[in-house]
Homo-oligomer: A and B are copies of this chain.
Amino acid sequence: MKRKNHHPQGRATGAEGIVSTGRDAEVSKLLWKDEDRPFARIDVSRTRRRGFPEAIYCPGKTPEQVVSILLAQHESGATPVLATRADLAMLKYVLPRVPGSYYLKQGHLIVLGEGAAPLHGGTIHVISAGTADIPVAEEVAAVAELLGNAVERTWDVGVAGLHRLLDRIEHIRKANVLVVVAGMEGALASVVSGLTHQVVIAVPTSIGYGASFEGLSALLSMLNSCSPGVATVNIDNGFGAACLASMINRSMAVR
């Protein structure tokens, strides 16, 4: 991972990747390939700005790129560095080449570095409608834990057997933030929201078939919830839900 100082497309080394969009100078770090142009610009100031570092979305990236970015982020001090949706081939290539990295199977996450310091106070409660939604729900839970949150999990409480949810509802009401993960008709988000006082972050999943149209049905349900206070993220976007939940939980915890 060399770095070329004199390429016409680049800038002087010292000045590279520093710009101000307000109070502080924002920094980026360039990763070079073939000595001539950077294929990635690490957003070094992301943690300071957003509260968590950049994550690496694996699909569409080469294993070499993932390795480079993991190492560069780690060098920049970001921690934990996460690579999401890593498949088996990615996993086999990356782990041996990135010392200290490990794999969280449930959430399909490659992790490098320490998790964030634990927050004091509240928990994030992640709730899944079905057993098949667990991989996405675990992505939520694992990322939230790595960002320092205490996490509770309640799996398989879909509305076809509502007593399973009611059985847990008092416990669920104790959390700071709720994340509901559901495929098919996605009704669980509205039902949980109607029974509780917290923000509900709704994650539609692609579980289903036919007219679920790979998650569209659950997505529309959540966007159209008759219970105000439901915030929706993209289909299967466990990572994004975890960031949102962590931001809310952190804002409640830090004082």
Q: Name A's B-contacting residues (CB within 8 A).
A: 9, 11, 16-23, 26-28, 37-41, 43, 45-46, 49-52, 54-55, 57, 59-61, 65, 69, 129-135, 152-164, 166-167, 169-171, 173, 176, 183-187, 190-191, 193-199, 201, 204, 206-237, 239-240, 243-244, 247-248, 251-252, 255
| CB nearest to A37 among chain B residues | B153
Q: Contact between A22 and B173 (Cβ–Cβ < 8 Å)? A: yes
The answer, among B54, B170, B243, for a CB contact under 8 Å with A22, is: B170
| CB nearest to A57 among chain B residues | B132
What is the predominant secondary structure among interface residues of chain A facing chain B?
mixed
- Min Cβ gap A204→B in Å is 8
Interface centre among A23, A164, A185, A191 (most CB of B within 10 A): A185
- Min Cβ gap A174→B in Å is 11
Q: Contact between A228 and B199 (Cβ–Cβ < 8 Å)? A: no
Interface centre among A183, A194, A212, A229 (most CB of B within 10 A): A194
Q: A226-B185, A231-B233, A233-B223 are in contact. Are A164 and B195 (CB under 8 A)?
A: no
Q: A130-B226, A220-B220 are in contact. Are A28 and B243 (CB under 8 A)?
A: no
Q: A21-B162, A240-B228, A243-B228 are in contact. Are A210 and B223 (CB under 8 A)?
A: yes
